[in-house]
Structure 1
Amino acid sequence: MVDMLPVLPRYQAFHGRVALVTGASSGIGAATAWTLASRGAAIAVNYHRGEAAAKELAESVRAAGGRAVAIQADVTDADQVRTMAERTAAELGPIDVLVANATGLYAEDVKFAPFTTTPIETVERTVQRQLRGLLHPVDAVLPQMVDRGRGSIVAVGAALSRTPAPGFLALSMAKAGVEAAVKALAHEVGQYGVRVNGVAPGLILTRVADGLPEPALQANAQRAAIRRNGVPEDVAEVIAFLAADTSGYLTGAYLLVDGGTASS
């Protein structure tokens, strides 16, 4: 895995910065952790179930000369998240960047389920866990960012917040909540030097997409303006852009990363 971490001495946009990436043992989270680490950030790799993968990622960052620690926490549990933030600060330093990628859900939760045949409790659980997965990490890191007068938060939503799909009502509602939170928080904390932005991926080839039939994947690729499906690195690059000081006048943005699918 070390060869996945390029040496970019001329582009150390996050040198001296500490980033906490939730849900970073695989997929978009792991790609984001690699991208930020390659640009100088010390990385806290959060995981819930994927202990082996998270520890391997952190070890590979260290082997390449970076700083990283893997920390287990359920992002829907406020106490665990608070402990994670405290440990990150103690082992790596004050948190400069939060990437709220973990949804509080699992791949098996993200599936086609018509509202008329879905227990209302399941719908409520999906929305509640998604919003907890955003709000608990933000609540844990925001006070120190405000105190220091700087910080960047990037939330990972989904294109479903803009183009809800039949059979995905709960997830569409949850992602719309993420978008609203990004915009509201940006207005609330901008005066303290903290920026809040979001990304809205379309269909990305992660474990969630593994359960989709090949014809569905092909059809989505054909709908995309650039005629392919997305990969985690596509989203990670946008997250890195939003998190860096080079986008310092950008806050409250919620960027679609869907290869032009929504506009095709």
Structure 2
Amino acid sequence: MSLSGKTAFITGAGSGIGRAACKILARDGANIIAADINAKNAKETVDLIDKQETKNISIALDVSESASVKSALVKVLETYSKPPSIIVNCAGITRDNFLLNLSEENFQQVVDVNLKGTFLVIQTFCKAMVEHQVPKGTVINVGSIVGKNGNIGQSNYAASKAGVEVMTKTAAKELGREGIRVNAILPGFVTTPMTDLVPDKLKEVFASKIPLSRFGTPEEIAEVISFLASDKSSYISGASIDVNGGMVTC
């Protein structure tokens, strides 16, 4: 198994891409730290993982609060005695509305979770990687095709995901000297609890624009996450990988 002996910290692990990432990384041999603002969902994720060969825990985490992120690191160090070498930032929310109707509160909420949360996790956990001299660290941030092209009703979400992509490239430049690789995955439309909120007629419109004529699955995104977490991608850093069924615009 390509990730045997490694430990992975996954945010947004309670559902969707985050949960799928936990399952795939565990399948490939990694110990899993499933972190989510919903502690019950995070525990359910861990319960779904075969525990015979890996040591897995769940943590309640609000990525938008620095105190919560630091507390999560403390628990990780208490459990594993060292920081994880794999960080996967999947936590994300939407608060969709047309730009002229979007409230300041809903704009800020999305930025705080999607962009600020990614920053706080990278800063906190990568500092610990450097201090503990963790070899071959890797960070995988989940962005979005919306961050490249925008999308009607998602000015807040698109801005936050665009920020994640550019922050990924910047972090890769800064952390490469520490042996830490940082990459982003830009999913297209994926069947998750987030897209479950989209009306069926609108889903049909989006699907018609995808060359593969369907939404992706969380597992398809998670397989790319596993590749970026492994030594098979050892010379990939600062990259943004589109995983969108060939879709070039929203």
Same structural fold, with TM-score higher than 0.5 when normalized by the shorter chain: yes
2:90 to 86, 96, 101: 101
Kindly provide the CA deviation profile for residues 172-216 of structure 1, in whole angstroms up to 9, marking residues without a partner as x: 111110011000000111011000000111111101111212222
Assess if the C-alpha contact under 8 Å between 1:40 and 1:66 holds in 2: yes
Assess if the C-alpha contact under 8 Å between 1:198 and 1:253 holds in 2: yes
Assess if the C-alpha contact under 8 Å between 1:59 and 1:68 holds in 2: no
2:229 to 232, 243, 257: 243
- Alignment of 1:130 with 2:114, yes or no, is yes
What is the RMSD computed on CA atoms of the aligned residues?
1.7
Partner of 2:26: 37
Assess if the C-alpha contact under 8 Å between 1:44 and 1:68 holds in 2: yes
CA shift, 1:263, in A, is 6.4
Distance 1:87 1:136 in 2: 16
Partner of 1:15: 4
Assess if the C-alpha contact under 8 Å between 2:95 and 2:110 holds in 1: no
Assess if the C-alpha contact under 8 Å between 1:61 and 1:67 holds in 2: no
Q: Report the 3-state secondary structure (helix = DSSP H, G, I; strand = E; otherwise coil) of the residue aligned with 2:194.
A: helix
Query: How many pairs align?
Result: 247
The 5-angstrom pairing of residues 189-204 of structure 1 reads 189-204=175-190
Q: Report the 3-state secondary structure (helix = DSSP H, G, I; strand = E; otherwise coil) of the residue aligned with 1:162.
A: helix
Q: Report the 3-state secondary structure (helix = DSSP H, G, I; strand = E; otherwise coil) of the residue aligned with 1:29.
A: helix
Moved over 3 A (4+): 62-65
Amino-acid identity (%): 30
1:69 to 57, 60, 83: 57
Assess if the C-alpha contact under 8 Å between 1:126 and 1:174 holds in 2: yes
Distance 1:30 1:88 in 2: 18
Distance 1:220 1:64, change over 3 A: farther
2:35 to 23, 42, 46: 46
TM-score normalised over the length of structure 2: 0.93
- Alignment of 1:178 with 2:167, yes or no, is no
CA shift, 1:222, in A, is 2.3
Distance 1:96 1:259 in 2: 30
- Stretches of structure 1 that go unaligned for 5 or more consecutive residues are 1-11
- Alignment of 1:223 with 2:209, yes or no, is yes
- Alignment of 1:110 with 2:95, yes or no, is yes
Amino acid at match of 1:66: T
Amino acid at match of 1:94: P
Distance 1:199 1:144 in 2: 24
